[in-house]
Amino acid sequence: MVADLTLVTAGAMTANVAGYLLQLLAGRWLGVTGYSEFASLLAAQLLCAVPALALQNVVARELVRGAGVAALRGLRWRCAVIVAVVAAVLVPLVTVTLHVGVGAAAAALGAAPALVLLSGEQGILQGGKRFRALGVVLGVAGIARVAPALVVLALGGGAAPALWAAAFGIAVAALFARVAAGSPRSRVRAGTGEDEVVAAVGVLPVLRAAQVQAALMALSSADLIVVRIVLDDVDASRYALGTIAAKIAFWLPQAVGVVLYPRMAQPTHSAQAIRAALAVLSGIGMVAVLGAALAAPLAPLLAGKDYAPIQGLLWLFALHGALLAVLQGAMLSAIAVDRTALAVVTWVGLAVEVTLMVSFARSVPALITTAASVAASTTLLVAVIVLRTADHPTRAEPLSPGG
């Protein structure tokens, strides 16, 4: 497990460092008045990645349970078409809500179908426990997404051209992932002696998993959208840059869930894997918060003196991200054992957070304090429920052709 964690962490960290570099340089090149638009559109893009993340989890889970690769790739294409249609419908809404151009909104949402195709292949690698190849794909995908956008920004391009370049990079990464995953030979289902399931896989399980991912991603991104409404451009950009610390703490332990997820999906190992995941995520979170507190004086040097006012809040941003990372681990376990109704707790947390922010928060400290407090309460409640039910697994039925 340590070797697998190392391989996936290397790939994930490559992608994450590339993403942080994009946000850091965008914050400098676009300035405090222009960066908030770019950051808000990235947050909207993250929300559109929800179906992709859900698909990866469902593909990995069903591959562990014996579903065929061909059927899972068919599911991937059906989900990509559905996401493309939904993204097109959402472009006008995002344009009006975030006060951005139509081209910029279309660029942010246009990457969603490519993300679905990419995540489908990552799910095949994850479910097959091919973590070396998965680590390579994660790293290549991060670089392919960021490099074209950085070139555009360096040449003086704005948010829309940079986001279109990033979408192109994601499409290239999806093609690379398909080649890396290849066409595995037919396997024999463990313990049954039967060939793997080849029937078509329906989209309903993906929708169930998507509402879990949607709740988590909405809770982790809602603050960036709200700040565009309640703060001026300067403070909104400062808050957006502070969330880089939250993103680092959130994505730093990503490999933990990726590696342990196939074990969570196996009834005989599920409880042990869930406990291990939550314990490791909590430990890494503490280290991330301490690191943010110690590195805070470097923030104005890296991002510019305009961001000095948030220096003392970076540990709180990191705490927010660390709490969400633990919540993500708990919600992944819910998807692995097909207990997706647990997401209702996170949806309630989201509603409380947005209500408090819009009604009372009018400053950067008030906003991040509210976000961290709600994340702490939600994570604690979900973790308690998950741990209490871990010893009473219920084996979910394999996916049927109709979903």
Tokens standing for 378?
A: 């939600």
Q: Is 27 helix (H, G, I), strand (E, B) or coil?
A: helix
The predicted structure's pLDDT at residue 191: 40
Section 353-369 average pLDDT: 92
Tokens standing for 270?
A: 């599920």
The predicted structure's pLDDT at residue 401: 41
Instruction: Tell me the Ramachandran region of residue 346: left when phi exceeds 0, alpha when psi lies from -120 to 50, beta otherwise.
Output: alpha
**Nearest Cα to 187, choosing from 100, 290, 64, 269?**
64
Section 101-105 average pLDDT: 88
User: 392: pLDDT confidence band, cut at 50, 70 and 90?
Assistant: low
H runs (alpha helix) in 268-401: 270-295, 299-303, 314-336, 343-360, 364-389
The predicted structure's pLDDT at residue 144: 94
**Nearest Cα to 266, choosing from 274, 256, 254?**
274
Contact between 237 and 35 under an 8 Å Cβ cutoff? The reply is: yes
List, as own/partner pairs, every contact residues 254-258 make where C-beta atoms lie below 8 angstroms and the sequence separation is at least 24, other chains included. 254/8, 254/9, 254/12, 254/16, 254/325, 255/5, 255/8, 255/9, 255/12, 256/5, 256/280, 256/281, 256/284, 256/329, 257/281, 257/328, 257/329, 257/332, 258/8, 258/12, 258/126, 258/131, 258/134
Section 291-318 average pLDDT: 82
User: 185: pLDDT confidence band, cut at 50, 70 and 90?
Assistant: low
State what percent of residues in the chain have pLDDT above 70: 90
CA 36 to chain centre: 20
| Rounded CA separation 369/375 (Å) | 10
Q: Which residues contact 4 (CB under 8 A, 6 or more apart)?
A: 129, 131, 259
Q: Give φ, ψ of 337 to 5 degrees.
A: -105, 10
Which tens digit of pLDDT belongs to each residue from 271-293? 888 899 999 999 999 999 999 99
**What amino acid occupies position 109?**
L
Mean pLDDT over the full length of the chain: 85
> Looking at the predicted structure, is the pLDDT value of residue 188 above 60?
no
> Looking at the predicted structure, is the pLDDT value of residue 38 above 90?
no
Q: Is 17 helix (H, G, I), strand (E, B) or coil?
A: helix
Q: Give φ, ψ of 197 to 5 degrees.
A: -65, 130
Tokens standing for 98?
A: 């975030």
The predicted structure's pLDDT at residue 267: 74
Taking only Cα atoms into account, the Rg of the chain, rounded to an integer number of angstroms, comes to: 20
| Rounded CA separation 282/236 (Å) | 29
Its pTM stands at 0.76
User: 304: pLDDT confidence band, cut at 50, 70 and 90?
Assistant: low
Helix (H), strand (E) at residue 207: helix 204-230
> Looking at the predicted structure, is the pLDDT value of residue 184 above 80?
no
